[in-house]
C-alpha cells in the first residue's frame, strides 16, 4: 500500500503541468477515502463481529464466530477418536490440529495448495493414504486465497480428493456449512472429520 501510494503521488506530480495543480490534492483525498473505508472494514470484521474462545490441549485462542465453535467441536472430537499415538492429516491443511492435539501427520506434506504436488506426487500421496491411512482425516473449508481462491478437490488435486473420498467416510461435520455433500469452496465454513472405511461405522454416529 505504501508503494502504491508513493507511485500515485509521483504520477500526480508528473501530471500537474497537464491536468492542473489540484491533482495531488485530489490524489490525497482519494487515498484518504480509501483508508477510511478500509479501516471501517477492518473494524467491522475484527471488532464488531463476535469472537469465540477455543480451548485446546496446547492452550486457548480466540477465533471469530462461527470458525471458533466449529474448530472447538472438531478439536474435542478428534481428541476422543484419535489415540494419543495416532495419526492425523487433512486437506487442504490440518497442521493446526496436529499441533494442538500432538498427533503426527503421516504424509510428506502438511499443506496442499496449488503447485505443491504434481501428478506423480498426487498418485504417491493417494497410495500412501491407501497403504497406511491415518486414524482421521480433516477437510476444512479453506480456500487458497493467495492462489486466486482455489478450492481443493474442485480446482486442483481432484485425483487426491477422489482417492480420499474412496478410502475414508464421514464421521462428523461441524460449522454453519455442515450439510450432506458439502465440499471445499461451498458457502459456509465447516470442518469435516473422516475415518478409514475399514473402521466400524457402528462405533461412530455421523454428526
Q: Model confidence over 158-170: pLDDT tens digits? A: 999 999 999 999 9
Residue-level pLDDT at 206 = 43
Same domain (yes/no): 96, 157: yes
Domain co-membership, 56 together with 44 = no
Closest C-alpha to 162, from 130, 188, 191, 187: 130
Cα separations in angstroms, 1 against 35, 42, 110, 168, 206: 10, 15, 31, 45, 47
Contact 104, 110 (CB under 8 A): no
Secondary structure (3-state) at 137: strand
Number of separate domains in the chain: 2
Q: Tell me the pTM.
A: 0.74
Beta strands in 114-186 (DSSP E): 136-140, 168-174
> In the structure grid, which three cell numbers stand for residue 103, read together?
498427533
8-52 pLDDT, tens digit per residue, is 666 656 666 666 666 666 666 777 777 766 665 655 555 567 899
Same-domain status, 9 and 34: yes
Distance of CA 194 to the CA centre of its chain: 17
87 phi, psi to nearest 5 deg = -120, 150
Instruction: Indicate whether 101 and 74 sit together in one domain.
Output: yes
User: Are residues 26 and 78 both part of a single domain?
Assistant: no
For residue 61, give the 3-state DSSP assignment.
Answer: strand
Whole-number Å distance between alpha carbons of 174 and 193: 9
* Residue span of the structural domain in which 66 resides: 51-203
Give the pLDDT confidence score for residue 47 in this predicted structure: 59
Number of neighbours of residue 177 by Cβ within 10 angstroms? 19
Strands 168-174 and 191-196: antiparallel
Amino acid at each position: 500500500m505504501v508503494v502504491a501510494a508513493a507511485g500515485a503521488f509521483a504520477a500526480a506530480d508528473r501530471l500537474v503541468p497537464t491536468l492542473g495543480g489540484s491533482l495531488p490534492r485530489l490524489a490525497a483525498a482519494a487515498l484518504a477515502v480509501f483508508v477510511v473505508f478500509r479501516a471501517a472494514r477492518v473494524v467491522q470484521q475484527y471488532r464488531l463481529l463476535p469472537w469465540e474462545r477455543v480451548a485446546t490441549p496446547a492452550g486457548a485462542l480466540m477465533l471469530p464466530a462461527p470458525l471458533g465453535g466449529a474448530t472447538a467441536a472438531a478439536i474435542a472430537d478428534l481428541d476422543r477418536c484419535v489415540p494419543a499415538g495416532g495419526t492425523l492429516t487433512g486437506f487442504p491443511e490440518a497442521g493446526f490440529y496436529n499441533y494442538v492435539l500432538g498427533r503426527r501427520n503421516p504424509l510428506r506434506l502438511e499443506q496442499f495448495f496449488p503447485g505443491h504436488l504434481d501428478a506423480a506426487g498426487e498418485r504417491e500421496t493417494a497410495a500412501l493414504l491407501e497403504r497406511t491411512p491415518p486414524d482421521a482425516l480433516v477437510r476444512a473449508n479453506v480456500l487458497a486465497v493467495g492462489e486466486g481462491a482455489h478450492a481443493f478437490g474442485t480446482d486442483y488435486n481432484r485425483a487426491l480428493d477422489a482417492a480420499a473420498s474412496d478410502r475414508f467416510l464421514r464421521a462428523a461435520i461441524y460449522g454453519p456449512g455442515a450439510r450432506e455433500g458439502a465440499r471445499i469452496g461451498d458457502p459456509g465454513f465447516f470442518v469435516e472429520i473422516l475415518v478409514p472405511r475399514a473402521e466400524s461405522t457402528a462405533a461412530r454416529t455421523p454428526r
